[in-house]
Amino acid sequence: MAAITASMVAELRAKTDAPMMECKKALTEADGDMVKAEELLRVKLGTKAGKAASRVTAEGVVTASIEGATGAMLEVNCETDFVTKNDSFLAMAQAAA
């Protein structure tokens, strides 16, 4: 059994954007084989990613920015109205516009 290091977990997480513990479990199951671990994660977490992609984002904000003769309007959506009231979310939307 290959020793699973923190750097291996970090590398797999960077490649797949999967949760850290899921990466560690996949590497352990794959006996340290990075390619096999990626495949295991894709099979295991593929349905979760699909579920997240299909959720409705019915809430959000519209922000506008005018600078000189140039303007931009941006719609940023989220799942809940709680997020739309969050100062960080509003600041991000304004900065993006």
Are 90 and 78 in contact by the 8 Å Cβ rule? The answer is no
Per-residue pLDDT at 53: 62
For 31, the domain range is 6-54
Per-residue pLDDT at 68: 94
pTM of the model: 0.49
Where helices occur in the chain by DSSP H, the ranges are: 6-16, 20-29, 34-54, 81-84, 87-96
H/E element, 60: strand 59-67
39 within some domain: yes
Name the domain boundary from 20, 39, 54.
54
Total domains present in the chain: 2
pLDDT above 70 as % of the chain: 90
